[in-house]
Amino acid sequence: MKFQVSLLAKMAIVAAIVMVFGAATKPAYSQSQPLEKLTVRFTWKLATYYTPLFVALDRGYYAKEGLDVTLAEGSGAETVVQLVAKGNDKVAYGPGTVAAEAASHDLPVIVVATYMPKIPIGLISFPDIPLKTPKDLEGKKLGVSVGETFSNMLAPFARINNIDLSKVNTVQLETSARNSQFMTRKIDVMSLYTNDQVPLLEKRTGVRFNVLKLSDFGLGLLGQGFIVNRDFTKSNPETIRKLLRATANGYADTFKDPATAVEIMSKYMTVKIDPDVMRAQLKETLDATAVPEGHPLGWQDRALWQDNLDLLKQTNRINSIKDIGLYYTNEFL
């Protein structure tokens, strides 16, 4: 019931947002004009958390704005952001925290909308391994992998939550080895994305794992949003506005009818996923999606950006924090 009440509340807010902010800027596209081609590059392979964009595509919201949008797979956030910075791609959809690192290193990218202000990462354990608070990591064997988001943030997470890392047995493993070690009970805890990997693993194993969401305990890293080449925003501002309006409609429809949204997304999946798993993944995605009252969908909060940048600096992911206007803008919403 908690999800249903939350979802109903978000549905109402999203509908109001689309009505108020969408109505103020109706698209001026005429069917006699050719559609403008635009590729949106995901930072990873097709996944359920991209559903709102495919709903917007499938229901013609991009086309109604005069855009011929191609939603394309990517090969990793850092690689894709580099391509956007170089202008090979103009627009990407992925984690804002990676764009923040890139902008701090003088790459010309900017985030124009953020739908998921905190990446939904969780620590998981089997039901018989207590994991209710971060302090429960003490005395456990924690599996980490090089390059994974949580391993990079373990030290600040420990500091924020008063975890004594000398009491945590941290084991570094390749990703595939880490997963198998977890399943064979050779490690106690590992991190996974709650809107993607956790539902898959629970369906495969029939186990309801303990899940400790990092965002509930002070580790908020900016998640999914649109990352755009800075020069492209300057020369094509209306294109960005059209993209964001159409995407907002896709989100509104997804909130309104998640079951139909899953059916739409399933048509586009190259690797088919069990519908029950997709529904669970979409539930987690919508739970993690911010619906700001009084602002357009995708609105970015300055304080959240500042917190994210402070965290990146504390973990030496960036050396210094630049003017905050170089990282994000709400001007196209």
Q: What's the number of domains the chain is made of?
A: 2
User: The CATH number of the domain where 81 resides is what?
Assistant: 3.40.190.10
pLDDT digits (tens, 9 = 90+) for 134-192: 999 999 999 998 767 788 789 889 999 999 999 999 999 998 899 999 999 999 999 99
- Which structural domain, as residue segments, surrounds residue 183? 121-217
- Is 238 in the same domain as 318? yes
Q: What percent of the chain has pLDDT over 90?
A: 82
Domain end among 201, 217, 233: 217
- Is 113 in the same domain as 131? no
- Is 108 in the same domain as 248? yes
- Is 247 in the same domain as 321? yes
- Is 96 in the same domain as 137? no
Confidence band of 24 (pLDDT split at 50, 70, 90): very low
- Is 107 in the same domain as 140? no
Domain assignment of residue 331, yes or no: no
Domain assignment of residue 90, yes or no: yes
Amino acid at site 74 = G
Q: Contact at 8 Å (CB) between 241 and 332?
A: yes
**Rounded CA separation 314/210 (Å):** 29
Q: Which of the two residues, 19 and 206, has the higher pLDDT score? A: 206
Domain end among 194, 217, 240: 217
Domain end among 217, 240, 270: 217
Locus of tokens 């009084």: 294
Confidence band of 3 (pLDDT split at 50, 70, 90): very low
Domain assignment of residue 134, yes or no: yes
pLDDT digits (tens, 9 = 90+) for 51-98: 999 999 999 999 999 999 999 999 999 999 999 999 999 999 999 999
- Is 148 in the same domain as 21? no
- Is 141 in the same domain as 200? yes
pLDDT digits (tens, 9 = 90+) for 279-288: 999 999 999 9
Domain assignment of residue 130, yes or no: yes
**Single pTM value for the model:** 0.89
- Is 140 in the same domain as 36? no
Within 10 angstroms of residue 96's Cβ, the number of other Cβ atoms is: 29
Burial of 211: CB neighbours in 10 Å, binned 0-12, 13-18, 19+? middle
